[in-house]
């Protein structure tokens, strides 16, 4: 079978490798769609720790083509989204933190490949009317769903999302499906602001047109925003979220800030106004629920371009230029 190996920076090779055989308790999946993630871009730019050579791709969907001993043969032909890790349910992280950080996790093989092997548990059946291409977005969507579920008092809240990339879009969508009364999207690229209308965003803000702080001041009579989500990954924007929060407000960090970056903010203000700052990195406990949650969102305009397996490098490069919302590879 063919797979794409990353060799550091933006060097990739398309390789012929031996076919995969599912061991006991595992399944083999014919990969249908793999999403390009901001993390893939950051890895090639050296902003997210990763050691080459390795195969990348952690947002995938496909069809089960073979099962190992002990797995129900009826699963062959099932349309699935693939979780990258399994969970034991018994370790400290599973019990005290989140199942997506299981200490005994078994990893699915990466997805920039014609096939992947995964523990039976990692292949999640998707609803019949959910497209396999949409289902490849389960991983990024689950991170946003998990993040939104970390927030309290969503009902009737007024929330801001900075950044209309895929993470910001999912956050906006899930804020609305979880009861937020008014969602504001701040994004400089017009096409991304347009797509956020599909997420039922109420107010659009263009940071090139007006200053965000003044915009929120006007909107809230200087009271500040209930919830602010930073979905870009820039420390200065996290600071901005803290500044425009109302007393007792909540700030969620969904964007991946560069490794070793520091937050420069007025800590007196943050303390005095009792602002909560939360990091939301991963899938939490919600990967299984996410395909159903995706059905509630209008995602037809989300995938901007499709690339064959031999164009992974181009897809990652185009993604780094901010082309479109979601770029996907079709092995």
- Applying CB under 5 A, the residues found at the interface with Zn ion are 37, 39, 87-88, 91, 94, 102, 104
- Listed in order, strand segments (DSSP E) in the chain are 2-6, 12-16, 26-35, 60-67, 79-82, 115-119, 123-125, 158-162, 182-186, 203-205, 225-230, 245-253, 276-279, 303-308, 326-330
Q: Which is nearer to Zn ion, 92 or 264 (CB)?
A: 92
Shortest gap between Cβ of 241 and Zn ion (angstroms)? 22
Shortest gap between Cβ of 27 and Zn ion (angstroms)? 20
- From the list 100, 18, 43, 90, the residue with the least C-alpha distance to 280 is 100
Do the Cβ atoms of 2 and 16 come closer than 8 Å? yes
Q: Which two tokens stand for residue 73?
A: 């043969």
Shortest gap between Cβ of 65 and Zn ion (angstroms)? 24
Q: Which is nearer to Zn ion, 94 or 162 (CB)?
A: 94
Shortest gap between Cβ of 38 and Zn ion (angstroms)? 7
Q: Which is nearer to Zn ion, 141 or 172 (CB)?
A: 141
Q: Which is nearer to Zn ion, 39 or 289 (CB)?
A: 39
Q: Which is nearer to Zn ion, 40 or 66 (CB)?
A: 40
Q: How many helices (H) and strands (E) does the chain have?
A: 11, 15
Strands 79-82 and 123-125: antiparallel
Shortest gap between Cβ of 167 and Zn ion (angstroms)? 9
Cβ-proximal residues to 143 (8 Å cutoff; 6+ apart), any chain: 167, 254, 280, 281, 282, 283, 284
């Amino acid at each position: 079978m063919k797979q794409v190996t990353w060799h550091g920076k933006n060097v990739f090779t398309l390789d012929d490798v031996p076919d995969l055989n599912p061991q006991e308790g595992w399944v083999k999946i014919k990969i249908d769609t793999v999403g390009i993630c901001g993390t893939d871009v950051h890895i090639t730019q050296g902003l997210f720790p990763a050691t080459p050579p390795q195969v990348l791709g952690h947002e995938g969907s496909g069809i089960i083509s073979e099962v190992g001993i002990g797995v129900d043969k009826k699963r062959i032909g099932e349309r699935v989204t693939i979780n990258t890790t399994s969970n034991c349910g018994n370790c400290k992280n599973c019990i005290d933190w989140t199942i997506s950080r299981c200490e005994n996790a078994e990893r699915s093989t990466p997805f920039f490949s014609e096939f992947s092997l995964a523990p039976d548990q990692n292949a999640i059946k998707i609803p019949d009317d959910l497209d396999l291409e949409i289902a490849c977005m389960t991983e990024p969507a689950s991170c946003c769903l998990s993040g939104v579920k970390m927030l309290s008092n969503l009902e009737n809240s007024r929330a801001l999302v900075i950044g209309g990339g895929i993470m910001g879009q999912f956050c906006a969508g899930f804020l609305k499906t979880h009861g937020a009364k008014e969602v504001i999207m701040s994004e400089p690229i017009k096409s991304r602001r347009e797509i956020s209308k599909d997420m039922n965003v109420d107010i659009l803000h263009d940071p090139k047109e007006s200053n965000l702080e003044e915009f929120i001041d006007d909107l809230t009579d200087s009271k500040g925003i209930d919830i602010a989500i930073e979905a870009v990954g820039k420390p200065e924007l996290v600071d901005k979220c803290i500044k425009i929060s109302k007393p007792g407000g909540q700030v969620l960090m969904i964007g991946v800030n560069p490794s070793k970056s520091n937050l420069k903010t007025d800590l007196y203000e943050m303390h005095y106004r009792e602002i909560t700052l939360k990091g939301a990195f991963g899938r939490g406990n919600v990967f299984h629920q996410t395909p159903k949650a995706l059905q509630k969102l209008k995602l037809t305009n989300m995938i901007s371009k499709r690339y064959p397996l031999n164009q992974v490098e181009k897809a990652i490069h185009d993604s780094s230029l901010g082309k479109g919302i979601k770029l996907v590879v079709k092995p």
